[in-house]
Amino acid sequence: MKIVVTGAAGFIGSNIVRGLNARGISEIIAVDDLRDGDKFRNLADLHIADYVDHTVFYERFANGVYGPVEAVFHEGACSDTMETDGRYMMDNNYGVSCQLWTACQAQGTRLLYASSAATYGGSSSFVETPEFEQPLNVYGYSKLLFDQRLRRAMGGDFKRNQAQVVGFRYFNVYGPREQHKGRMASVAFHQFHQFKQDGHVKLFGEYGGYAAGEQERDFVFIDDVVAVNLWFFDHPQQSGLFNLGSGRAQPFNDVALAVVNAELAAQGKQPLALGEAVAQQLIRYIPFPDALRGKYQCFTQADLKALRASGCDHEFADVQTGVGSYMQWLAKV
């Protein structure tokens, strides 16, 4: 069984390769852009059959160079929500995805691809239907346009296709193998290093009607993301567009407190309540940045009705559990 993973040296892609390896699958073509050479570290302990640069893969795949491929996990994209080059974003996220989908349908290859909760943008509801899609940046729009393209081509519900097509609207994913993402790495990643360096963590202050640190996001642990991807891989009859979050909104304060208490536990100290951590200045608040005003989602929470209706009953970790596990991993690398 031959599998392709695009963005394979990235955060989610490398974890999907890891998940496939855990099943004994190593006939994997890894596709990525390694101009950032340090990303090799995400592949170094994994087993793949071949590596192909993203600049040549898509045309070769469309021409059948790689022979029969069972499925493509398409994680490759520019995920920088602050990127303002719309031409680059549309070519990289929309155009390439369209080319890949066309080739997959022609060859009978299943496509499981990364969409994003950024497609909802300014919406206060997070259901996989057009009335709730209000992207706030060109990244969110590039992801939404591909979702829309597939809706039109496949009768609105992704059912009219030659092979399985599944889109995952990822919410705030965190966990191992995201160190290369720089400013786009998760809050938990940055706070781990803040605490190590400064002895405290930082959060945005009041904004959007939310008190300091109380803006809420649906934080989802990477192991849960991989598990859901693989569930759909195991159920090729299921196609559609699905939210992939925990279904549970939690404030950034919960993340910060989980980081702080994990570090305190590593020092043999007792956990603190939020008020205690703030009083001891282990959690500190900074002014909300002007550059993000009007472009920031203060609340996200995945509606999981469609996911559950598909038959996927995976149980997601809460922030305390997932972040605690992640902090242990970071402490070892």
Cα end-to-end distance, the chain, whole Å: 32
Residue 246 has, within 13 A of its CA and on its CB side, a CA count of: 22
- Give the residue from 86, 228, 87, 93 showing the smallest Cα distance to 147: 93
DSSP summary character for residue 40: G
For residue 156, what are the CA distances in angstroms to 128, 164, 333?
Answer: 11, 14, 45
**Which is catalytic among the residues 2, 51, 66, 181?**
181
**Which is catalytic among the residues 94, 113, 120, 139?**
139
CB 45 within 8 A of CB 252: no
CA distance 221 to 210: 24
Burial environment of residue 70 by CB neighbours within 10 A (0 to 12, 13 to 18, 19 or more): middle
In sign, the C-alpha dihedral spanning 13, 7, 21, 304 is positive
Q: Does residue 174 carry a catalytic annotation? A: no
What lies within 8 Å, CB to CB, of 214 at 6+ separation is 251, 252, 253
Q: Does residue 181 carry a catalytic annotation? A: yes
- Which of helix, strand or coil describes residue 307? helix
For residue 309, what are the CA distances in angstroms to 147, 151, 242, 312, 314?
Answer: 20, 19, 10, 7, 12
- Where in the sequence numbering do the catalytic residues fall? 139, 181
